[in-house]
Structure 1
Amino acid sequence: MKNYVETTLTQKIFRIIIALFMIVAGFSHLTFNRVEFQAQVPEWLPMSKDLVVILSGIVEMTLGLGLMFWKKQRVNFGWALAIFYILIFPGNIAQYIDGKDFGPLNSDTARLIRLFFQPVLIVWALWSSGAWKARKSIDN
């Protein structure tokens, strides 16, 4: 699989948006939303909640920065971000089941809608990074 494929202007814009979102989200894990994110960590996770929040913040910032600036590895960062979204999905389900509020996710309806948005983020990461196109190049 190629690590880099050409993307359209629209893909580049959407890649920058999702990368900025990840950088800001990661920064918020380490600073102003740290306690709020700790409250979202599922009870069944056998790790320190603070450690989970710190590590996930570092991963989010790394993925965002890599997706934005490391052109030759953009496809790999797209796949990594998609996998990250899959890995955090059980936590989102736990947040819905446990009814934990966080910012605008302050109702069962809002938390449920978020669950349906997760596949959109996965596709967004793969499409905007060119990872989806790079995968198709293997098949041909």
Structure 2
Amino acid sequence: MVASRLRTVLRWLLGLAYGAAGVLHLAAPDPFVSIVPGWVPAPYLVVALTGLAELAGAAALLQPWSHALRIAAGWGLAAYALAVWPANFEHMRMDMAQADGGLGFGYHLPRLAFQPVLIWLALWVSGALSRFRSA
């Protein structure tokens, strides 16, 4: 019961966070474009597409009608978090190269370390990991 309630609360928090991030990617793309690694083509298009992916993932995660769609959202958001991880490394590299050291390791290292947790969380709150539980 407690785990179920916790999963629901965290699913809503994660969905709202991804929804807010999606809106920000679309409404104010410049900060996101600035950390897109140089090897990624068409940074503005990529940022817009990531914003749309976040919004779609959030909507699918929060909808109440289809458990299968929530599971698909979990897999999609986990893959998304993995795919954008290089941008976090690029942000740290660019930021730490500033004369003042930017935001510093105290900001960047926890952010980088949290990405696998975010991946796991998307899978757990969506129910995607339930099929892997042993009886």
Q: TM-score, normalised by structure 1?
A: 0.82
Matched, 1:61 2:55: yes
Out of 109, 113, 116, the position equivalent to 1:112 is 109
CA contact (8 A) 1:99 1:108 kept: no
CA drift at 1:35:
1.1
Paired with 1:107 and 1:52, the residues of 2 have a C-alpha distance of 26
Output one character per residue of 1:7-27: Cα deviation in whole Å (capped at 9) or x when no partner: 812101100100000000000
- Shift of residue 71, structure 1, vs aligned partner: 2.7
Identity of aligned residues (%): 32
| Residues 73-112 of structure 1 mapped to structure 2, 5 A cutoff | 73-99=69-95, 106-112=103-109
* Backbone CA RMSD of aligned residues: 2.0
* Cα offset, 1:125, TM superposition: 0.7
Paired positions, count: 127
- In the other structure, the counterpart of 1:131 is 128
**Equivalence for 1:35:** 30
Match of 2:99 in 1: none
SS, match of residue 99 in structure 1: helix
Alignment pair present for 1:44 and 2:39: yes
Gaps of 5+ in 2: 97-101
Structure number with higher relative contact order (C-alpha < 8 Å, ≥ 6 residues apart) = 1
Q: Distance in 2 between matches of 1:116 and 1:84?
A: 16
Contact 1:75 1:134 in 2 (8 A): no
Taking structure 2 as the reference length, the TM-score comes to: 0.85
